[in-house]
Amino acid sequence: MKRFFGSMLGSFIGVGLSLVVFVLILVGVASMSSTDVAEIEDGSYLLIDIYGQINEYDPPQDIIGMATGGEAETLQRILSNLEKAAVDSRIEGVVFKLSYNNSLGWAKLQEIRNAIDRFQLTGKKVKVWSDSMNLGTLYLSGTCDGTYMPPSGMLNFQGLSSWSMHLKDMMDKLGVEVHLHKIKDYKSAAEFFTESEMTDAAREMKTWMLEEVWDQVIPAIAEERGLTEEKILELMQYALFQVPEGVEAGLIDGAMYWQEFEKTLVPDDEFITVSPSAYATVTRHELGLEGDGFIAVVHAQGNIGGRESRVDPMLGLMMGHESVCEDLKKCREDDGIDAVVFRVDSGGGEALASDLIAHEIDLLSQVKPVVVSMVDVAGSGGYMIAYKGTKMIADPLTVTGSIGSINGLFVTTGLNNKIGIGKDYVEKGPMALLGNDVRTPTEEEWDRHTDAHWKSFNTWLADVADYRGMEFADAEKLAHGRVWTGRQATANGLIDGVGDLHDAITMAKELAELPVDQNVALLHFPEKKEMMELVMEMFGGGADVSQSLRNSIYIGIQKDLNNSMQFMQNGAVNVVQPPRP
């Protein structure tokens, strides 16, 4: 047995050392090319591929992904590249390759549409070729100058839906008691564990959100495709179109394969494209898009929880309070930064982590203007980190609000008994088992729990009312878990207006008393690090890289497990999910 474990350990170390060598080789390659700037030929087309996961900004940096060029597309890179391509004489136009297999929500789609509209003001064309289309991608393509698909492509034109999953019956069968206190009826995330189907409040809220999407998306598609809304409804009855049928119905402009599509753009010449990653190396400065003045854009994305921003294996993209606060502090202490745009794309998470970020926003806004720019979702904790900014704006279809809270515990004694796990305890002093999972809470314990939860929530709601200039009773009518679109939140006073990143930067200029028509330098946070800097951080600067790698793996696994468990205990269900296109 000792020999077996020794062999396993030796294999693990061998793999680790091999990985080190592999990483160092990649570092050598990347370090030679990391400063290269793409050579852009005259007549080039910027090719933007909308497929798969598209975050608002780059996730926490990954050495292997960075070294192998595996950085995924982001909304920020799309917007930045379109801004540069508009004034770059070498760029003839833009081609979007679309697939409905993407993570863009309605607000991100609106931001890209707005950026396309600004690009087209230069007279350059934006064309679309898509292998698969649905309502969301049709909405995006509608503002472009032509949409084409291969004859074998997938064209689904269906109405909107919003669904929820419920684990209550499964938890009952497993013997897990769920004790969750939610504030209040509209805080529907708790229903994942507490209900077998939607409550009336959840159904009401999902319905009004779908109506908001419908009222903004369907008229746009109808106008851009030259269709009546009655015709839209008729086409939705058919739903699943062959591409030639879609052309005949007026949903797209033509059926052709990619090779034929290229020839429509450059009939007698080579079709030259530049990738988004290559074009990202072209700076705004070299294209004359930077002037006097500096505006920082701080990106805050993912579920909120823990100290460091990271990609959690269980919970996905996570926003850590220390990481975000460090970036905000840099902006506060840098006298060269005139204003800050705080980009929020988060459905919430831990109340404590959210409050710590909100406090840093408060300190920053006392020194210089802070314009909060909400993206797909800024709800619950995502709203908490935002409302202390100088001004708040959101896209018309941003999901925001959800001012509510969920707290509680899971009693796993029944499950433990079924699978043969014993758990016992001793106690001393009052309330020793408050919040413990070994037994059902007593009435006295649960009353204390809910009382503390209400006090914490009401303190937050009173603060929201104060910052938004409302009476507590009026703020309460907008809270208790209710979510709103950006358009609705503007009307009810939870935010100051609708607008995208471009509008937020313009507002930041105004508040900083910079000329609105003057270009400014944009500083994005978190700042990207060079490959060697990431490697040195990983290895701690020590000479024994194999030991450093083993330590990094061990510590990383421990951190991931601890962070996941902490998030689950401190409000993992307190997350708002927007309806998908």
34/479: higher pLDDT: 479
Give the pLDDT band of residue 15 (cuts 50, 70, 90): very low
Contacting residues for 189 by C-beta, under 8 A, at least 6 apart: 380, 406, 481, 573, 574, 575, 576, 577
Residue type, 163: W
**Which of the four pLDDT bands, split at 50, 70 and 90, describes residue 539?**
low
pLDDT at 426 over 80: yes
Helix%, strand%, coil% for the chain, nearest 5: 45, 20, 35
Answer yes or no: is pLDDT of 12 > 70: no
Q: pLDDT confidence of 250, banded at 50, 70, 90?
A: very high
Whether the CB-CB separation of 503 and 495 falls below 8 Å is answered with no
Determine the 3-state secondary structure of 401 from DSSP: strand
b/e code 126-161 from CB counts within 10 Å (16+ = b): bbbbbbbbbbbbbbbbbbbebbbbbeebbbebeebe
**Which residues have a Cβ under 8 Å from the Cβ of 270 and sit 6 or more positions away?**
none
Q: Can you say how many angstroms the Cα of residue 360 is from the centroid of all Cα atoms in its chain?
A: 21
User: What is the side-by-side strand order in the sheet with 147-149?
Assistant: 254-255, 147-149, 125-130, 91-102, 44-52, 273-274
Q: What is the DSSP string of 453-490?
A: HHHHHHHHHHHHHHHTT--HHHHHHH-TT-EEEHHHHH
Same fold, 44-158+239-279 and 290-414+468-569: yes
- Confidence band for 36, pLDDT divided at 50, 70 and 90: low
3-class DSSP state of 298: strand
Pairing of strands 240-241, 154-156: antiparallel
Mean pLDDT of 346-360: 97
Q: What is the pLDDT of residue 561?
A: 52
**pTM, full prediction:** 0.89
44-158+239-279, CATH topology level: 2-enoyl-CoA Hydratase; Chain A, domain 1 (3.90.226)
Q: CB under 8 Å to 430, separation ≥6 — which residues?
A: none
Weakest mean pLDDT among 30-34, 55-59, 556-560: 30-34
Mean pLDDT to the nearest integer, 70-98: 95
Q: Is 548 helix (H, G, I), strand (E, B) or coil?
A: helix
List the chain domain ranges: 44-158+239-279, 290-414+468-569
**pLDDT at position 252 over 50:** yes
Q: Is residue 205 scored above 70 in pLDDT?
A: yes
Q: Which of 26-35, 103-112, 350-359, 382-391 has the lowest mean pLDDT?
A: 26-35
Cis bond before residue 184 (omega within 30° of 0) = yes
Q: Where are the strands (E) in 81-161, listed by range?
A: 91-102, 125-130, 132-133, 147-149, 154-156
Q: What is the mean pLDDT of residues 209-216?
A: 97
Only one residue has tokens 């907008």, namely 478
pLDDT band at residue 227 under the 50/70/90 scheme: very high
Confidence check: pLDDT of 540 > 80:
no
CATH superfamily of domain region 290-414+468-569: 2-enoyl-CoA Hydratase; Chain A, domain 1 (3.90.226.10)
3-state secondary structure of 228: coil
The pLDDT assigned to 315 comes to: 86
Backbone angles phi, psi at 347, to 5 degrees: -90, 0
Over residues 548-559, the mean pLDDT reads 49
Task: Categorize the per-residue pLDDT at 569 as very low, low, confident or very high, splitting at 50, 70 and 90.
Answer: very low
Cα–Cα distance measured from residue 453 to residue 136, given in angstroms and rounded to the nearest whole number: 39
Q: In angstroms, how far is CA 544 from the centroid of its own chain?
A: 37
Contact 531, 30 (CB under 8 A): yes
Asked whether residue 112 carries a pLDDT value surpassing 90, the answer given is yes
Q: Give residue 25's pLDDT.
A: 47
Residue 34 pLDDT level (bands cut at 50, 70, 90): very low
Q: What pLDDT is stored for residue 32 in this prediction?
A: 44
pLDDT at 313: 87
Q: What is the pLDDT of residues 278-324, one digit of tens each?
A: 999 999 999 999 999 999 999 999 999 999 999 988 889 999 999 99
20, pLDDT greater than 60:
no
pLDDT at 560: 53
When pLDDT is averaged across residues 434-447 and rounded to a whole number, the result is 92
| pLDDT value of residue 536 | 61
Q: Which structure tokens are listed for 157?
A: 């034109």
Answer whether residue 249 shows pLDDT above 70.
yes
pLDDT (average), residues 541-555: 48
* 252 vs 530: which has the higher pLDDT: 252
Q: Residue 477 — very low, low, confident or very high, per pLDDT cuts 50/70/90?
A: very high
pLDDT surpasses 80 at 380: yes
The per-residue pLDDT of the chain, averaged, comes to 89
Burial 395-417 (b: 16+ CB within 10 A, else e): bbbbbbbbbbbbbbbebbbebbe
Q: What is the pLDDT, as a whole number, of residue 562? A: 54
Helices (H) and strands (E) in the chain, counts: 22, 22
Mean pLDDT confidence for 521-531 = 87
560 versus 468: which is more confidently predicted?
Answer: 468
Question: According to the model, what pLDDT value does residue 336 have?
Answer: 97
190 in Cβ contact with 559 (< 8 Å): no
Q: Is the pLDDT at 334 greater than 70, yes or no? A: yes
- Say how far apart CA 475 and CA 473 lie, in whole Å: 5
The answer, yes or no, to whether residue 372 has pLDDT greater than 80, is yes
Q: Would you state the pLDDT for residue 91?
A: 98
- Total residue length of the chain: 581
